[in-house]
Amino acid sequence: VAAAGTGAVFLGGLTTSCGGGGGEGEGYRLALIVGVTGDEFYTTMECGARAAARKLGARLNVQGPEEFSPAAQTPILNAVVQSNPDAILIAPTDRTAMVGPIQSAVNQDIPVVLVDTTIEKEEIALARISSDNVEGGRMAGEALAEQIGGKGKVLLISVKPGISTTDQRKQGFEEAIKQYPDIEYLGTEYCNDDPTQAASITTSTLQAHPDLAGIFGANVFSGQGAGTGVRQAGKRDQVSVVAFDASPTQVEDLRRGNLDVLIAQHPNDIGRRGVQIAVRYLESGEEPENKQITTGFTTVTRDNLDAPEVERYLYRA
Protein backbone atom coordinates (compact mmCIF):
# COMPACT_ATOMS: atom_id res chain seq x y z
CA VAL A 1 0.00 0.00 0.00
CA ALA A 2 1.39 3.38 -0.95
CA ALA A 3 2.02 5.72 1.93
CA ALA A 4 2.46 8.65 -0.43
CA GLY A 5 1.94 11.99 1.19
CA THR A 6 0.74 10.57 4.50
CA GLY A 7 3.83 11.65 6.35
CA ALA A 8 4.02 8.13 7.78
CA VAL A 9 7.77 8.30 7.53
CA PHE A 10 9.60 5.49 9.35
CA LEU A 11 6.35 4.00 10.53
CA GLY A 12 5.16 2.20 7.47
CA GLY A 13 6.38 2.39 3.93
CA LEU A 14 5.73 -0.01 1.14
CA THR A 15 5.73 -3.71 1.77
CA THR A 16 6.47 -6.26 -0.85
CA SER A 17 6.37 -9.99 -1.32
CA CYS A 18 10.04 -10.10 -0.35
CA GLY A 19 8.93 -9.29 3.18
CA GLY A 20 9.39 -6.29 5.41
CA GLY A 21 12.70 -6.26 7.14
CA GLY A 22 15.13 -3.48 7.62
CA GLY A 23 12.34 -1.72 9.49
CA GLU A 24 13.36 -2.17 13.08
CA GLY A 25 16.41 -2.03 15.27
CA GLU A 26 18.71 0.70 16.38
CA GLY A 27 20.81 1.04 13.24
CA TYR A 28 21.00 3.86 10.71
CA ARG A 29 17.68 5.22 9.47
CA LEU A 30 17.57 5.09 5.70
CA ALA A 31 14.81 6.17 3.34
CA LEU A 32 14.24 4.90 -0.19
CA ILE A 33 12.00 7.02 -2.42
CA VAL A 34 11.06 5.15 -5.60
CA GLY A 35 9.91 6.67 -8.90
CA VAL A 36 6.38 5.31 -8.68
CA THR A 37 4.51 2.73 -6.61
CA GLY A 38 3.03 -0.35 -8.28
CA ASP A 39 5.97 -0.77 -10.68
CA GLU A 40 7.73 -4.08 -10.14
CA PHE A 41 11.06 -2.61 -11.19
CA TYR A 42 10.97 -0.59 -7.97
CA THR A 43 9.40 -3.40 -5.93
CA THR A 44 12.39 -5.52 -6.86
CA MET A 45 14.77 -2.68 -6.04
CA GLU A 46 13.06 -2.42 -2.65
CA CYS A 47 13.64 -6.14 -2.07
CA GLY A 48 17.37 -5.71 -2.66
CA ALA A 49 17.51 -2.64 -0.44
CA ARG A 50 15.61 -4.40 2.37
CA ALA A 51 17.85 -7.45 2.24
CA ALA A 52 20.97 -5.27 2.53
CA ALA A 53 19.43 -3.17 5.32
CA ARG A 54 18.56 -6.33 7.27
CA LYS A 55 22.08 -7.60 6.91
CA LEU A 56 23.66 -4.32 7.96
CA GLY A 57 21.24 -3.67 10.83
CA ALA A 58 19.85 -0.51 9.23
CA ARG A 59 16.24 0.63 9.25
CA LEU A 60 14.70 1.23 5.85
CA ASN A 61 11.58 3.22 5.12
CA VAL A 62 10.26 3.05 1.56
CA GLN A 63 8.01 5.69 0.02
CA GLY A 64 6.87 6.58 -3.47
CA PRO A 65 4.42 8.67 -5.47
CA GLU A 66 1.39 7.14 -7.16
CA GLU A 67 2.41 8.61 -10.49
CA PHE A 68 5.81 9.05 -12.09
CA SER A 69 6.07 12.83 -11.75
CA PRO A 70 8.20 15.39 -9.91
CA ALA A 71 5.02 17.15 -8.70
CA ALA A 72 3.98 13.99 -6.87
CA GLN A 73 7.48 12.99 -5.74
CA THR A 74 8.63 16.35 -4.35
CA PRO A 75 6.26 16.51 -1.31
CA ILE A 76 7.26 12.95 -0.40
CA LEU A 77 10.94 13.86 -0.51
CA ASN A 78 10.24 17.01 1.53
CA ALA A 79 8.42 14.98 4.20
CA VAL A 80 11.27 12.47 4.34
CA VAL A 81 13.82 15.31 4.69
CA GLN A 82 11.73 16.73 7.54
CA SER A 83 12.07 13.42 9.38
CA ASN A 84 15.86 13.83 9.20
CA PRO A 85 16.95 10.34 8.14
CA ASP A 86 20.65 9.40 8.13
CA ALA A 87 20.64 8.97 4.33
CA ILE A 88 18.21 9.05 1.40
CA LEU A 89 18.17 6.81 -1.66
CA ILE A 90 16.02 8.30 -4.42
CA ALA A 91 15.05 7.58 -8.03
CA PRO A 92 14.38 11.14 -9.24
CA THR A 93 11.43 11.38 -11.64
CA ASP A 94 12.84 14.29 -13.65
CA ARG A 95 16.39 15.41 -14.52
CA THR A 96 15.80 19.10 -13.84
CA ALA A 97 12.71 19.43 -11.63
CA MET A 98 14.18 17.22 -8.88
CA VAL A 99 17.49 19.15 -8.60
CA GLY A 100 16.09 21.74 -6.15
CA PRO A 101 14.36 19.28 -3.79
CA ILE A 102 17.44 17.03 -3.72
CA GLN A 103 19.70 20.03 -3.15
CA SER A 104 17.55 20.91 -0.09
CA ALA A 105 18.22 17.47 1.38
CA VAL A 106 21.97 17.82 0.73
CA ASN A 107 21.92 21.31 2.28
CA GLN A 108 20.61 19.68 5.46
CA ASP A 109 23.63 17.38 5.44
CA ILE A 110 21.63 14.33 4.47
CA PRO A 111 23.68 12.20 2.06
CA VAL A 112 21.73 11.28 -1.07
CA VAL A 113 22.31 8.23 -3.26
CA LEU A 114 20.70 8.31 -6.72
CA VAL A 115 19.25 4.96 -7.72
CA ASP A 116 18.12 4.18 -11.30
CA THR A 117 17.52 7.71 -12.59
CA THR A 118 19.80 10.72 -12.20
CA ILE A 119 19.61 14.54 -12.24
CA GLU A 120 21.44 17.30 -14.07
CA LYS A 121 23.50 18.28 -11.02
CA GLU A 122 24.41 14.68 -10.22
CA GLU A 123 27.66 15.64 -8.50
CA ILE A 124 25.71 16.64 -5.37
CA ALA A 125 24.92 12.97 -4.75
CA LEU A 126 27.14 10.66 -2.73
CA ALA A 127 26.88 8.05 -5.53
CA ARG A 128 24.75 6.93 -8.45
CA ILE A 129 23.73 3.37 -9.13
CA SER A 130 22.05 2.50 -12.39
CA SER A 131 22.05 0.42 -15.54
CA ASP A 132 24.01 1.74 -18.52
CA ASN A 133 20.85 2.96 -20.20
CA VAL A 134 22.47 4.13 -23.46
CA GLU A 135 23.95 0.66 -23.85
CA GLY A 136 20.60 -0.93 -22.95
CA GLY A 137 18.88 1.15 -25.62
CA ARG A 138 21.49 -0.01 -28.14
CA MET A 139 20.89 -3.62 -27.12
CA ALA A 140 17.16 -3.09 -27.67
CA GLY A 141 17.80 -1.56 -31.10
CA GLU A 142 20.01 -4.46 -32.13
CA ALA A 143 17.49 -6.99 -30.83
CA LEU A 144 14.64 -5.32 -32.71
CA ALA A 145 16.71 -5.10 -35.91
CA GLU A 146 17.40 -8.81 -35.63
CA GLN A 147 13.74 -9.64 -35.00
CA ILE A 148 12.60 -7.77 -38.14
CA GLY A 149 15.45 -8.96 -40.39
CA GLY A 150 17.01 -5.49 -40.59
CA LYS A 151 14.16 -3.82 -42.45
CA GLY A 152 10.78 -2.14 -41.96
CA LYS A 153 9.07 0.58 -39.95
CA VAL A 154 9.76 0.87 -36.23
CA LEU A 155 8.32 2.98 -33.42
CA LEU A 156 9.65 3.87 -29.99
CA ILE A 157 7.18 4.23 -27.11
CA SER A 158 8.60 5.95 -24.03
CA VAL A 159 7.33 7.58 -20.82
CA LYS A 160 7.87 11.33 -21.17
CA PRO A 161 10.80 13.57 -22.01
CA GLY A 162 13.10 14.63 -19.15
CA ILE A 163 13.63 11.25 -17.47
CA SER A 164 17.35 10.39 -17.58
CA THR A 165 16.96 6.64 -18.04
CA THR A 166 14.37 6.53 -20.80
CA ASP A 167 15.96 9.46 -22.66
CA GLN A 168 19.27 7.57 -22.66
CA ARG A 169 17.56 4.40 -23.89
CA LYS A 170 16.09 6.43 -26.76
CA GLN A 171 19.55 7.74 -27.61
CA GLY A 172 21.08 4.25 -27.65
CA PHE A 173 18.17 2.79 -29.61
CA GLU A 174 18.40 5.51 -32.26
CA GLU A 175 22.17 5.04 -32.58
CA ALA A 176 21.70 1.32 -33.13
CA ILE A 177 18.94 1.42 -35.73
CA LYS A 178 20.69 4.20 -37.67
CA GLN A 179 23.13 1.50 -38.79
CA TYR A 180 20.33 -0.23 -40.72
CA PRO A 181 19.53 1.64 -43.96
CA ASP A 182 16.35 -0.38 -44.53
CA ILE A 183 14.83 0.44 -41.16
CA GLU A 184 12.46 3.39 -41.26
CA TYR A 185 12.18 5.08 -37.88
CA LEU A 186 8.75 6.57 -37.18
CA GLY A 187 10.01 8.43 -34.11
CA THR A 188 9.02 8.43 -30.43
CA GLU A 189 5.57 8.61 -28.85
CA TYR A 190 5.10 9.20 -25.12
CA CYS A 191 2.56 7.27 -23.02
CA ASN A 192 3.00 9.06 -19.67
CA ASP A 193 3.80 5.72 -17.99
CA ASP A 194 0.27 4.53 -18.76
CA PRO A 195 -0.11 1.11 -20.44
CA THR A 196 -3.54 2.08 -21.79
CA GLN A 197 -2.04 5.07 -23.57
CA ALA A 198 0.81 2.90 -24.87
CA ALA A 199 -1.75 0.43 -26.26
CA SER A 200 -3.72 3.18 -28.01
CA ILE A 201 -0.52 4.68 -29.46
CA THR A 202 0.15 1.20 -30.87
CA THR A 203 -3.37 0.93 -32.31
CA SER A 204 -3.26 4.32 -33.99
CA THR A 205 0.24 3.74 -35.36
CA LEU A 206 -0.96 0.46 -36.85
CA GLN A 207 -3.87 2.32 -38.48
CA ALA A 208 -1.53 4.89 -40.03
CA HIS A 209 1.15 2.29 -40.86
CA PRO A 210 -0.46 -1.13 -41.40
CA ASP A 211 2.98 -2.47 -42.38
CA LEU A 212 4.59 -1.57 -39.04
CA ALA A 213 7.37 -4.09 -38.33
CA GLY A 214 8.53 -3.38 -34.80
CA ILE A 215 8.14 -1.45 -31.55
CA PHE A 216 10.59 -0.73 -28.74
CA GLY A 217 8.77 -0.13 -25.44
CA ALA A 218 11.26 1.74 -23.25
CA ASN A 219 10.01 0.64 -19.80
CA VAL A 220 7.53 -1.61 -17.98
CA PHE A 221 4.32 0.21 -18.89
CA SER A 222 5.37 1.28 -22.40
CA GLY A 223 6.26 -2.35 -23.14
CA GLN A 224 3.12 -3.80 -21.57
CA GLY A 225 0.91 -1.41 -23.55
CA ALA A 226 2.72 -2.13 -26.82
CA GLY A 227 2.19 -5.87 -26.28
CA THR A 228 -1.52 -5.34 -25.57
CA GLY A 229 -1.95 -3.10 -28.63
CA VAL A 230 -0.31 -5.59 -30.97
CA ARG A 231 -2.34 -8.48 -29.56
CA GLN A 232 -5.63 -6.57 -29.82
CA ALA A 233 -4.87 -5.66 -33.43
CA GLY A 234 -4.23 -9.34 -34.18
CA LYS A 235 -0.75 -8.46 -35.49
CA ARG A 236 1.44 -10.59 -33.28
CA ASP A 237 2.91 -12.39 -36.29
CA GLN A 238 3.71 -9.16 -38.09
CA VAL A 239 4.95 -6.79 -35.38
CA SER A 240 7.96 -7.61 -33.19
CA VAL A 241 8.08 -5.96 -29.77
CA VAL A 242 11.24 -5.49 -27.75
CA ALA A 243 10.76 -4.00 -24.29
CA PHE A 244 12.91 -2.82 -21.42
CA ASP A 245 12.31 -4.47 -18.01
CA ALA A 246 10.85 -7.81 -16.92
CA SER A 247 7.70 -7.33 -14.85
CA PRO A 248 5.48 -10.39 -14.25
CA THR A 249 2.99 -9.08 -16.86
CA GLN A 250 5.76 -8.53 -19.40
CA VAL A 251 7.11 -12.03 -18.78
CA GLU A 252 3.61 -13.48 -19.25
CA ASP A 253 3.28 -11.46 -22.48
CA LEU A 254 6.63 -12.84 -23.63
CA ARG A 255 5.47 -16.38 -22.92
CA ARG A 256 2.27 -15.79 -24.90
CA GLY A 257 4.03 -14.17 -27.84
CA ASN A 258 2.75 -10.62 -27.36
CA LEU A 259 6.32 -9.48 -26.66
CA ASP A 260 9.48 -10.95 -28.20
CA VAL A 261 12.55 -9.80 -26.25
CA LEU A 262 12.91 -8.24 -22.80
CA ILE A 263 15.98 -6.33 -21.66
CA ALA A 264 15.84 -7.01 -17.91
CA GLN A 265 17.68 -4.63 -15.61
CA HIS A 266 19.05 -5.78 -12.26
CA PRO A 267 17.04 -3.61 -9.84
CA ASN A 268 17.68 -5.89 -6.87
CA ASP A 269 21.40 -5.14 -7.27
CA ILE A 270 20.69 -1.40 -7.55
CA GLY A 271 18.80 -1.39 -4.23
CA ARG A 272 21.35 -3.58 -2.48
CA ARG A 273 24.36 -1.55 -3.62
CA GLY A 274 22.60 1.70 -2.73
CA VAL A 275 22.08 0.65 0.88
CA GLN A 276 25.62 -0.74 1.16
CA ILE A 277 27.15 2.52 -0.09
CA ALA A 278 25.02 4.65 2.23
CA VAL A 279 25.84 2.56 5.31
CA ARG A 280 29.55 2.39 4.47
CA TYR A 281 29.64 6.17 4.19
CA LEU A 282 27.74 6.66 7.46
CA GLU A 283 30.11 4.30 9.25
CA SER A 284 33.42 5.57 7.84
CA GLY A 285 32.73 9.08 6.54
CA GLU A 286 34.56 8.09 3.38
CA GLU A 287 33.02 8.90 0.03
CA PRO A 288 33.01 6.03 -2.46
CA GLU A 289 35.96 6.16 -4.85
CA ASN A 290 33.69 5.35 -7.74
CA LYS A 291 30.65 7.62 -7.79
CA GLN A 292 28.96 5.78 -10.66
CA ILE A 293 28.13 2.13 -10.14
CA THR A 294 26.74 0.39 -13.18
CA THR A 295 24.65 -2.74 -12.86
CA GLY A 296 24.01 -5.32 -15.55
CA PHE A 297 21.36 -6.53 -17.99
CA THR A 298 19.90 -9.90 -18.87
CA THR A 299 18.32 -10.42 -22.28
CA VAL A 300 15.17 -12.52 -21.88
CA THR A 301 13.55 -14.48 -24.70
CA ARG A 302 10.91 -17.22 -24.86
CA ASP A 303 13.75 -19.72 -25.19
CA ASN A 304 15.67 -18.81 -22.03
CA LEU A 305 13.09 -17.38 -19.63
CA ASP A 306 12.88 -20.48 -17.47
CA ALA A 307 16.66 -20.95 -17.15
CA PRO A 308 17.72 -20.36 -13.52
CA GLU A 309 20.38 -17.79 -14.49
CA VAL A 310 17.68 -15.76 -16.28
CA GLU A 311 14.74 -16.46 -13.97
CA ARG A 312 16.57 -14.92 -11.00
CA TYR A 313 16.51 -11.53 -12.74
CA LEU A 314 12.77 -11.47 -13.48
CA TYR A 315 11.09 -8.79 -11.36
CA ARG A 316 9.14 -9.57 -8.17
CA ALA A 317 5.60 -8.42 -7.51
Q: Cα-Cα-Cα-Cα dihedral of 302, 307, 312, 314, to 10°?
A: 10
* Given 173, 180, 216, 221, the residue binding ligand T6T (CB under 6 A): 221
* Complex with ligand T6T: residue 61 or 247, whichever CB lies closer: 247
Does 35 interact with ligand T6T (rule: CB under 6 A)?
yes
42-81 footprint of ligand T6T as x/- string (CB under 6 A): x---------------------------------------
CB of residue 247 vs ligand T6T: minimum separation in angstroms?
7
Kindly state the DSSP code that residue 122 receives in the 8-state scheme: G
Q: Which stretch binds ligand T6T (CB under 6 A): 34-42, 55-63, 96-104, 301-309?
A: 34-42
CA distances from 189 to 81, 108, 237, 263, 304 (A): 35, 39, 22, 20, 30
Q: Which stretch binds ligand T6T (CB under 6 A): 36-44, 140-148, 197-205, 286-294?
A: 36-44
Of 161, 159, 317, the closest CA to residue 223 belongs to: 159
* CA separation for the pair 12, 293 (Å, rounded): 29
Of 111, 115, 35, 114, the closest CA to residue 76 belongs to: 35
CB of residue 167 vs ligand T6T: minimum separation in angstroms?
10
* Complex with ligand T6T: residue 28 or 93, whichever CB lies closer: 93
Using CB under 6 A as the binding rule, the residues of this chain from 263 to 302 that contact ligand T6T are 265
* Given 28, 244, 281, 313, the residue binding ligand T6T (CB under 6 A): 244
* Complex with ligand T6T: residue 73 or 117, whichever CB lies closer: 117
**How many CB atoms are located within 10 Å of the residue 6 CB?**
13
Using CB under 6 A as the binding rule, the residues of this chain from 142 to 181 that contact ligand T6T are 163, 165
* CA separation for the pair 155, 167 (Å, rounded): 15
CB of residue 116 vs ligand T6T: minimum separation in angstroms?
5
Specify whether the backbone of 15 is left (phi greater than 0), alpha (psi in -120 to 50) or beta: beta
